[in-house]
């Protein structure tokens, strides 16, 4: 699994003309799932995200986690995080999991993140064409890969 975690002061997902989800202070998580991913990848990422100290304290040092600032999560499935760009100019998405594998892991990620963090978890809609809006606070953007544990 690959994620892009962005510290936000506001983020939302719009499908069609309707806002599906929105949060204030928190993290926007773009989540890419590949065929080799399992529940172990879900748990590792959810634990890391919950404890990640990327929010500013009274001195604006990144010392606080999402619980300490009362933040929320917004998770959006994004298969393009597994794009292969080595050959040619058109990315290949062969490593991205097919919906029959990805949807259950996406749903597990949402439930485990809520359970582990105790925080509100909003989401996009798997497979939908979405407009994602955000105000990246900082900006702070973190890339993580559960296979490399980085």
Token pair 């773009």 is found at 30
Are 92 and 29 in contact by the 8 Å Cβ rule? The answer is: no
Q: Is 80 part of the annotated catalytic residue set? A: yes
Nearby residues of 144 by Cβ (< 8 Å), 6 or more positions away: 2, 3, 5, 45, 48, 150
* Active-site hit among 25, 50, 80, 141: 80
Query: What distance in Å separates the CA atoms of residue 71 and residue 86, rounded to the nearest whole number?
Result: 38
Determine the 3-state secondary structure of 110 from DSSP: helix
Q: Sort residue 123 into left (φ over 0), alpha (ψ -120 to 50) or beta.
A: beta
Catalytic residues: 80
């Amino acid at each position: 699994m690959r994620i892009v975690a962005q510290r936000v002061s506001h983020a939302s997902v719009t499908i069609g003309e309707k806002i599906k989800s929105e949060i204030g202070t928190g993290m926007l998580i773009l989540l890419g799932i590949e065929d080799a991913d399992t529940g172990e990848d879900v748990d590792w990422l959810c634990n890391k995200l919950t404890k990640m100290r990327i929010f500013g304290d009274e001195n604006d040092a990144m010392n606080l986690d999402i619980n300490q600032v009362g933040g929320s999560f917004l998770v959006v499935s994004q298969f393009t995080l597994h794009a292969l760009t080595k050959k040619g100019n058109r990315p290949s998405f062969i490593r991205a999991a097919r919906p029959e594998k990805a949807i259950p892991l996406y749903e597990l990620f949402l439930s485990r993140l809520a359970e582990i963090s105790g925080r509100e978890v909003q989401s996009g809609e798997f497979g939908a064409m979405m407009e994602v809006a955000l105000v990246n606070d900082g900006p702070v953007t973190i890339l993580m890969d559960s296979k490399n544990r980085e």
